[in-house]
Structure 1
Amino acid sequence: MASFSYAQHAQEGVVFENKTHVALAGITVENLNGKYKTVTDKQGRFSLTAKISDMLVLNGFGYKPDTVVVTDLHAREFYMDPLQHLLNEVEINGKGAVNESIFKQRKDPDFHNQTMTYQRNKDGTVKGGINLRIWSNKKTENEAKKRELEAKNDKITAQIQQAFSKESIEKYVPLKDQELHSFIMRYSPDIETFTSEEFNLAAYLNKCYKEFVKLSPEERLKASIFGN
């Protein structure tokens, strides 16, 4: 009975800032499965040892960390979102005068667009810090979290469909036509299985294939709607 393995290759890519499409240098890219790590160059480019189903984590100062699953080893683009800062930079000149822009009222999107006002001393000078009325709407927050989770699951589902497409799976198992279709329908993993730290595509397919060949010829042609 055949077992399946494959050599590791390199995932190449370019990291950009989302929306502006500016190449990001100094972004750390780490392969959690193989413990490999590298940093993007001045053009945002990197090359890192990886294989299909590995998880890459991108980290950089001033940007939100991002985790992606390797579904193929083609060169690709990665996008990172900048972090939102609460206060703008305050400029002080040699005479001790503060930039007048800090006296203007601002609205902060992280606090439901509330107006921000700076704390002051009795003489009217800036004391430091801000006065901010904390407002919370649990329903809105829960709905936002739900939408975020749904979007994340949709993205992972698309990755699973790509990894378990006919073109991808027939590279690993000697099946064709209806048997291949039945194998994919029967053993395509759920999100929890696919994103677990222990998941390895080659090992998973090897295990599933061993189970599949034990089925009767009739059973092999049935496309079960239940995953393994």
Structure 2
Amino acid sequence: MKPHFLIAALLFLFIAQVTNAQNYLEGKVIDVANNKTLSDVFIKNITANKITVTDEDGEFEIQGSVGNLLVFSTPGYVPDTMVVVDLYKLTVKLKQTTSLLNEVNVRSQRETFDPHTEYPEVYSKSKVWILSPSSLFGKEAKNARRLKKYFEQEEKERAIDQAFSIAYVSSLVPLRGVELQTFMAMYRPSFEFVQSNSGPSLASYISDSYKKYKELPPEKRQQSSLQGQ
């Protein structure tokens, strides 16, 4: 290969790598109060329709560029939205929800979510193929597996929301408003319990929990409703 062709080829590869690097945004998500890194924060690039979650160190990488709109959300924290203004590494600070009640409100207002339909590529990319090392060690595959794990947990939480809904619980206990939300935050059942207890058994659990709730002194209920996540 002639020297000028070799130089042109190398220049092309360099430009391609730079362009590709500019298509990805990197950063870290932390708690605004104590600077603790936050794992499993769901991040969506609304503009580019790309998603990811933070790793165990709170780090993330997502496809995007200047001007894109990013949304960060995780249970127990107030969602945050930001517009990308440059390609420097981002530090995103999330604030904890002020009470258990806010968490109940957020859960009750969430839209229907079907990750299998909305993000089928996550499930295909998360598979490990014996003859494909990149499916095991590749960055894209690892990110897909983190997202799949996140979606699995999210589906469980939404199954609880559906079974232990405000409408259903309020039909069984004489609580409304703040008091109802406090009760639901304190006695939210696990996914395993909901899976094995429905109908009469779930109703019995709610009634028994209400009896325990009523036995608590008023100040104890109030303190519970004001606790942060």
TM-score, normalized by length of structure 1?
0.38
Higher fraction of helix: 2
Question: With CA pairs under 8 Å and 6+ residues apart, which has the higher RCO, 1 or 2?
Answer: 2
Structure of higher CA gyration radius? 1
Judging by fraction of residues, say which structure has more strand.
Answer: 1
